[in-house]
Structure 1
Amino acid sequence: MLEQLSRLAPDADRGVLALALEARSCAMAAGDVADGSRLAVIDYTRPSTQPRLWVFDLERGRLLYDEHVAHGSGSGENFATAFSNRDGSHQTSLGLFATADTYVGGNGYSLRMDGLDPGFNDNARQRLIVMHGASYVDPVQARRQGRLGRSWGCPALRPQVAHAVIDTLKGGQLLFAYADEADWLSGSRWFGCSGRNAREILASARRGGGGLQVAAR
């Protein structure tokens, strides 16, 4: 599956894709999530001026979206460098999320998410960390000002695609948010069920070695 995702999204970091598949597989094995056929991967090591969100249909082997996504205003400027699970931090949270229901709120059509990484993103509901569209997610303006507009920690999208992406991911699908953050990489409960730690998975995938081999269902 890693080879397939890499072909679909050649600009994505193979190591990040491998970690996303590992987290999904471990969560499924633990019975914490259903077998979500759609997986969103965000790589916050990339600048906000570049696309860094990929949405995959694992069942059909398709890349559905390749998009810009905002990070929290407390996380940094063009690059996100600080992450938090704390309410009021306005920082982005890392880890594996399960999507839930939709609603219409102050930011329009929005998608609730439940953080599945204790200590890293499990305050998502309390913090109102949701996926929504926002006018400040404007790639053209980002090129002018050197960064995308920022949220209060939500993975905000371009208004033109937000509704469609949310409908693609709602109802028990998975979102994986990555950064090279040592505490999370060593402390997440979703790495290691295959016998390798996060750094080993990243290194092997980046060398072109096999990632976690899981079959789409």
Structure 2
Amino acid sequence: MIYKIFPVILFSFFLIFSNPEVYSTPETSIKNQTAIQIKPTFDSKEDSIYRSLNSNNFDLPSLEGFKEALKGFYSLKEKGIIQKDILTLVDFSLSSNVKRLWVIDMSTNTILYNSLVAHGRNTGEEFANSFSNANSSFKSSLGFYATGEIYKGKHGMSLKLDGLEKGVNNNARERGVVIHSADYVSNEFIKCNKRLGRSQGCPAIPKEVLNNIVNTIKNKSCLFIYHPSRSFQEVLASVS
């Protein structure tokens, strides 16, 4: 009888130890399930927020750019680096001939503004494709910024920016990369030149929206300049 039972017992032990899901405590099982569920849950949240955006009759940003912006927005808000529930997204994957800047009220999921925005003269012609953090490069810098204070400069009313990513955009204030208005950021310029005008590296916007946008996003809100050439892992590694 023992000879008949022993092989069954031996086989049962083999099954238990060869299957970590069977041989686990309830605590371990919960941890494994949590680890598996974290990413899908967060992705689902981003998708849900995107689907619930009130477009306010504006075009929606791309899902890819919005999701990258949202990840950084939550992280920076949690750290206290930004204080407002305002997210400004610039999508430099798009043609400069279309409105590629969005100002979003995250407390209501409402797009407040959608505007043309310029890139640097050495960043590209119609499309942005080359970026820099260096002085006198006349190139745009990607990544996350905290908006600063309003001041009056050579372009009139302007908004200072603090780059939050070391080696990517942290020289923004030193370089004088600010939000300002310019005549070359207009549909008229596009009609005459077949592309938007370009700045010395600043995200310049049209004169008619400057006052509203700057007063909405000033003083510690989140600005994200997106381009698909950078992964979010690179972003996380460089945020200071």
Amino acid at match of 2:170: D
RMSD: 1.8
Give the structure 2 partner of residue 28 of structure 1: 77
The answer to whether the 8 A contact 2:68-2:232 is kept is no
Shift in Å, 1:63: 1.0
What is residue 40 of structure 1 aligned with on the other side? Answer: 88
Aligned with residue 201 of structure 2, among 130, 153, 159: 153
Mapping 1:52-131, distance limit 5 Å: 52-131=100-179
Q: Secondary structure at the match of 2:197?
A: coil
CA contact (8 A) 1:49 1:143 kept: no
Q: Which amino acid counterpart does residue 187 of structure 1 have in structure 2?
A: E
Higher helix share: 2
Post-superposition Cα deviations, 1:106-143, rounded to whole Å, max 9, x if no partner, equal 01100001001111111000100000011111112213
Q: TM-score, normalised by structure 1?
A: 0.81
Please say if residues 2 and 14 of structure 1, whose CA atoms lie closer than 8 Å, have aligned partners that are also in contact: yes
- Pairs within 5 Å for 1:200-215: none
Q: Larger Cα Rg: Structure 1 or Structure 2?
A: 2
SS in 2 for 1:97: strand
Which residue pairs with 2:216 in the alignment?
168
Which has the bigger relative contact order, CA under 8 A and spacing at least 6?
Answer: 1
Specify the alignment match of 2:22 in structure 1. Answer: none
User: Unmatched 5+ residue regions in structure 2?
Assistant: 1-48
Between the aligned partners of 1:28 and 1:53, the Cα distance in structure 2 is 21
Contact 1:6/1:14 (8 A) holds in 2 = no
SS at 1:162 equivalent = helix
Cα distance in 1 for residues equivalent to 2:85 and 2:219: 11
TM-score with structure 2 setting the length: 0.74
**Cα deviation 1:89-118 (Å, max 9, x = unaligned):** 010000010001000010110000100111
Q: Aligned letter for 1:49?
A: N
Q: Deviations over 1:54-99 (max 9, x none)?
A: 0011112321101000000010100011001111101000001000
Q: State the alpha-carbon separation in 2 of the partners of residues 11 and 140 from structure 1.
A: 23
Give runs of ≥4 in structure 1 deviating > 4 Å: 6-10
Q: Which amino acid aligns with 2:63?
A: R
Give the whole-Å Cα distance in 2 for the aligned partners of 1:163 and 1:63: 17
* Structure 1 unpaired stretches of 5+: 192-217
